[in-house]
Amino acid sequence: MPEVTAELVKKLRERTGAGMLACKKALEEAGGDMEKAEVILRKQGLAIAAKKASRATRQGVIGTYVHPGAQLAVMVEVNCESDFVARNPEFQAFVHDIAMQIAAANPLYIRREDVPPEVLEREREIARDRARAQGKPEKVLDKIVEGQLEKFYQEVCLYDQPFIKDNNATVGELIQQNIAKFGENIVVSRFVRYKVGEIQEGETGG
């Protein structure tokens, strides 16, 4: 059976648009066969969801979550294509789950593409310096740095974070599942997270 390598997972993701974890699972189930794995993803609706990713999302709802004790609150805008889906109770419950995710996991960005280049460069330098300090050989530093960057994305990017209700899926994969479920493109466009005593960027204290 062919080894399910990161490169193989990446290729399947590029072909289908499905999440990394979903692609890895599909390849493992398919014994490393790319065509069979793509069929598995299509049956799950994840490859179909990827085809909708370019469609405009001009409807949606603003979801809120206030943590018990009223010390922490989140507002998040999640967009879809139609008012029909926006008014669907299941869609609104999904948006509430996203708000809870933001409250619990405190992402700094929505997608990894949103991370500023200077922040990525800083994280690369930190990871490289740490690996050198641990005596790691120069030839493996790049691989170590990229591995640390993946962990960084999982911590600070909403779409890459493990979903709080199911750690076997990322938030991005949860969104893809809902795209397949509702038959419309769905995106998280913005959010704000307030915690009592914390000053948000761009705000001033009173």
Question: Which residues, 6 or more positions from 197, have their beta carbon under 8 angstroms from its beta carbon?
Answer: none
- DSSP letter string, 112-175: GGGS-HHHHHHHHHHHHHHHHHTT--GGGHHHHHHHHHHHHHHHHBGGGSEETTEEEEEHHHHH
What CATH number is associated with residue 181? 3.30.479.20
Q: Report percent pLDDT > 70 for the chain.
A: 89
What confidence score (pLDDT) does residue 206 get? Answer: 41
User: Which whole number is the average pLDDT over 177-195?
Assistant: 90
Same-domain pairing of 105 and 21:
no
Averaged pLDDT of the chain: 85
pLDDT tens-digit readout, 68-96: 999 999 999 999 999 999 999 999 999 99
Q: Give, as one character, the DSSP assignment of residue 3.
A: -
What confidence score (pLDDT) does residue 204 get? Answer: 39
Residue 144 located in a structural domain: yes
pTM for the predicted model, two decimal places? 0.70
Structural domain for 28, as ranges: 6-51
Same-domain pairing of 178 and 105:
yes
Using the predicted structure, report yes or no on whether residue 52 has a pLDDT greater than 50: yes
Q: Report percent pLDDT > 90 for the chain.
A: 42
Using the predicted structure, report yes or no on whether residue 164 has a pLDDT greater than 60: yes
User: Which whole number is the average pLDDT over 177-192?
Assistant: 89
pLDDT band at 25 (very low <50, low <70, confident <90, very high): confident
From CA 203, how far away is CA 166, in angstroms rounded?
34
Tell me the CB-side half-sphere exposure of residue 175, using CA atoms within 13 A.
Answer: 27
What confidence score (pLDDT) does residue 202 get? Answer: 41
From CA 121, how far away is CA 44, in angstroms rounded?
37
User: Which whole number is the average pLDDT over 159-166?
Assistant: 93
What CATH number is associated with residue 121? 1.10.286
Same-domain pairing of 161 and 85:
yes
